[in-house]
Structure 1
Amino acid sequence: MTRHPTDTPQFYLTAPAPCPYLDGRQERKVFTHLVGSKAQTLNEVLTQGGFRRSQNIAYRPACEDCKACVSVRVRVDDFRWTRAFRRLRRKNADIIGTAAAPAPSSQQYDLFRHYLDARHADGGMSDMTVLDYAMMVEDTHVETMLVEYRKRGPDSFLNGRGDGPLLAVALTDMLSDGLSMVYSFFDPDRRSRSLGTHLILDHIERARALGLPYVYLGYWVRGSPKMDYKSRFQPQELLGPEGWVPAPPTDEDNPPTGQ
């Protein structure tokens, strides 16, 4: 059985593989294991340094000739609610998100499969089984929550839970300086609700309520249309050679439809 050190992290480099964001490019990643009693602290340091988490692995791009992947975090206290964002918030006022410990369910997996088949049928996660999904949710040594989104029911104001079909799910790490959105998925048939955007707006409000300054959105990839939506959440910071710096503002006033 392979054993991983729990006190001093060791870092490894993957072999080159086709880039999922930019055609004709190759990607490599540096990664380490998040295990043991220091996993939470290590996850915090690495997330602030541009790493992302997948199960008990923290990774970041390590491509020799490309720096297109840039870590992004939203500044919560200064977040700009555009007219389009406010309209979307009103449209989705009948949705409530309930946070709980990360535990998989058959409803989650059904929605996850529907989302993958509709939005990422040719992606690297397209062949994930129910066991793979359970591992994605449960295999963690860090502080994580799973937020389920449903329509408000008659008792929601009492129990804080939604009612009816599952609309969206977000797997989110809790850090001392923010919330890191590890992975999210939603009902692709409800395009008018822009559920992907709604999940980010909801996390911004959750971070504000917790007194946390940032929401980490992962990587923005210049030249990748599927990542353009991340630039809409302003003001934000980008991680560069000199650390986190303010991103150039955008004049966009419309969240991406269907995100």
Structure 2
Amino acid sequence: MRSDLIRLFQTPPQACGYYPERSAQNLLIDPHQPDLAGLYGAALEQGFRRAGDQLYLPRCSACQACIPTRIEVAAFRPDRSQRRNLRDNADVRISLQPAQYNQERFELYARYLRWRHPDGGMDEAEPEDFTHFLRADWSPTWFMEFRLAGELIAVAVTDICEQGLSAVYTFYAPEHASRGLGTLAVLQQVELARQRELAWVYLGFWIAGHPKMDYKRRFQPLQLRGSHGWKPMLPTTGKD
């Protein structure tokens, strides 16, 4: 991706969503850039992430905590806890659906935000928030649905590009949190990428030691993107 052909913008400082005492800034690809769909795969390769119709990369002057990650699909093997997750969720039915708004999905999304982000500015979602945050007209987005006895219990927002699959966002029913539906979603996205012969599942940003982000290191072999490109993360030792 060549910045001399693509307009990039730097956002002004804003509150960091992970560390309240810090400020954050993002590098944005011009949302009016022609052929964003064609640029998307190359942007993922450079560490960018999609939120709504924006492709962004954290670019904070005093912090480099957010590190792009991706799973090497061909080499991935579930660890013991992940295999247990698959067994425990064998009764969940999974399907890939067009990325469209409906009331059932919105109500699940709103319930998840109220539970996950109370008083965080995201807990009073409106229908337009659902659409603007989860999809864009140009993005190759699908909704991976998870149903238990017919009830929708989770949705994994999944972008399928030629270069790889991007795990954009997952929301699920709070009362089923003990099932580990976030882990299940990643495992199923890896399997979808394997079926489609895609090399990578892009997981977004990893923050070492952060309770909301550190789970990503369990999906080995994981690669991290730094100033010299993608490099393997060395797995930590301990029980799997």
TM range (shorter): over 0.9
Letter in 1 for 2:50: R
**1:203 corresponds to which of 181, 189, 211:** 189
1:15-30 aligned at under 5 Å gives the runs 15-30=12-27
Q: Which string of whole-angstrom CA distances, capped at 9 and with x for unpartnered residues, describes residues 102-126 of structure 1?
A: 1011011111111111111133422
What corresponds to 1:62 in structure 2?
Answer: 59
Q: What secondary structure sits across from 1:110 in the alignment?
A: helix
Return the alpha-carbon distance in structure 2 between the equivalents of residues 231 and 252 of structure 1.
Answer: 12
1:78-117 aligned at under 5 Å gives the runs 78-117=75-114
What corresponds to 1:135 in structure 2?
Answer: 132
What corresponds to 2:222 in structure 1?
Answer: 236
Return the alpha-carbon distance in structure 2 between the equivalents of residues 188 and 228 of structure 1.
Answer: 20
TM-score by length of 1: 0.86
1:187-198 aligned at under 5 Å gives the runs 187-198=173-184
Q: Give ranges in structure 2 of 5+ residues lacking alignment.
A: none
Q: What secondary structure sits across from 2:108 in the alignment?
A: helix
Q: What secondary structure sits across from 1:189 in the alignment?
A: helix
Contact 2:113 2:125 in 1 (8 A): no
**2:43 corresponds to which of 46, 66, 72:** 46
Q: Does 1:245 align with 2:231?
A: yes
Shift of 1:92: 0.6
Q: Which string of whole-angstrom CA distances, capped at 9 and with x for unpartnered residues, describes residues 64-101 of structure 1?
A: 11110000101111113211111110111111221122
Compared with structure 1, are the counterparts of its residues 75 and 138 closer, same or farther at alpha carbon in structure 2 (3 Å cutoff)?
closer
Shift of 1:177: 2.3
Compared with structure 1, are the counterparts of its residues 55 and 77 closer, same or farther at alpha carbon in structure 2 (3 Å cutoff)?
same
Contact 2:41 2:164 in 1 (8 A): no
Shift of 1:191: 2.5
Compared with structure 1, are the counterparts of its residues 253 and 206 closer, same or farther at alpha carbon in structure 2 (3 Å cutoff)?
farther
TM-score by length of 2: 0.92
Letter in 2 for 1:32: I
Q: What secondary structure sits across from 2:236 in the alignment?
A: coil
Alignment length (residue pairs) = 236
Return the alpha-carbon distance in structure 2 between the equivalents of residues 51 and 101 of structure 1.
Answer: 23
Compared with structure 1, are the counterparts of its residues 85 and 252 closer, same or farther at alpha carbon in structure 2 (3 Å cutoff)?
farther
What corresponds to 1:159 in structure 2?
Answer: none
1:138-153 aligned at under 5 Å gives the runs 138-151=135-148
In the TM superposition, structure 1's runs of 4+ consecutive aligned residues that sit over 4 Å from their partners are 34-37
Moved more, 218-227 or 29-38: 29-38
Return the alpha-carbon distance in structure 2 between the equivalents of residues 37 and 96 of structure 1.
Answer: 38
Moved more, 65-74 or 114-123: 114-123
Moved more, 192-201 or 91-100: 91-100
What corresponds to 1:224 in structure 2?
Answer: 210
Contact 1:171 1:183 in 2 (8 A): yes
Q: Does 1:172 align with 2:147?
A: no
Letter in 2 for 1:77: A
What corresponds to 1:76 in structure 2?
Answer: 73
Return the alpha-carbon distance in structure 2 between the equivalents of residues 148 and 244 of structure 1.
Answer: 31
Give the alignment's Cα RMSD to 1 decimal: 1.7
Shift of 1:9: 3.3
Contact 2:110 2:124 in 1 (8 A): no
Return the alpha-carbon distance in structure 1 between the equivalents of residues 137 and 169 of structure 2.
Answer: 13
Return the alpha-carbon distance in structure 2 between the equivalents of residues 144 and 246 of structure 1.
Answer: 27
Moved more, 28-37 or 124-133: 28-37
Q: What secondary structure sits across from 1:234 in the alignment?
A: coil
Q: Which string of whole-angstrom CA distances, capped at 9 and with x for unpartnered residues, describes residues 199-244 of structure 1?
A: 0011111111111111111000124211111111111100011100
Report sequence identity in percent: 37
Contact 1:112 1:186 in 2 (8 A): yes
Q: What secondary structure sits across from 1:59 in the alignment?
A: strand
